[in-house]
Amino acid sequence: MTVKSEYELPRWAPRLTKLQIKKLYAACGRGILNEELIDDAGFSLYARCQSMLEVDKAVFGKPVCPKCETAVEKRDEEQPILVCPACAWRCPLKLYHKTYKHKNLSPGGMKEFITAFVEKFENTRSPAERLVLIDTLIHQFHWASGSGRPAAVNFIEGSMKDIMPFLDSLSYGDNIPADIQQKREEWRKMWQNNAWSKGRGQQGR
């Protein structure tokens, strides 16, 4: 849902569509390294990660101005207002928070992996290596042990109930890079032993 307001609000990158991911892996399954599809999914994921890192700053009291990307100050403790020291942009803190709440934009335990993806994607030109980066991130968990919440719901549209079977059903084909094949097998084992796969992960949330 879009937050309507007289104030200029930040716009966060949306989650990827299932179709973007499906087309990418369908091509991979046919032995085709389609650079256009890789870039479409990769840059969409890159933008989503950048939004999540900015939201993380806001969560920890350092929101970023949506106009000039300057760190914003909070004024008036009773009715907090964000005021940009560089361009005078302003917005009620409560309204700013509303733009990212309940939208799977908080990195949580994924911050380390998201930061690594952004840095590596910026410095990687090889389509094959970018494909591995994409695959690794969307099959990640919020904690490396796999006991945490699967991260796919942060990056792909849909609920945990349908995203996880969707990922498991993707066609990889016989020509899939070894790194991706290994990651998929690890992911399957982690998911099978994960509380979310048994419906227990929703408790207390």
User: What residues does each domain of the chain span?
Assistant: 18-61+100-198
75: enclosing H helix or E strand: strand 73-75
Distance CA 72, CA 147 (A): 36
Looking at residue 23, its pLDDT comes to 94
Per-residue DSSP letters for 147-185?
Answer: -S-BTHHHHBSS-HHHHHHHHHT----TT--HHHHHHHH
Res 3 pLDDT > 60: no
And the tokens for 12?
Answer: 């966060």
Looking at residue 64, its pLDDT comes to 93
Q: With 0-12 CB in 10 A as exposed, 13-18 as middle and 19+ as buried, what is 202?
A: exposed
Query: Between residues 199 and 140, which one has the greater pLDDT?
Result: 140
Looking at residue 203, its pLDDT comes to 37
Looking at residue 42, its pLDDT comes to 97
Residues 102-121 have pLDDT tens digits of 999 999 889 999 999 999 99
pTM of structure = 0.83
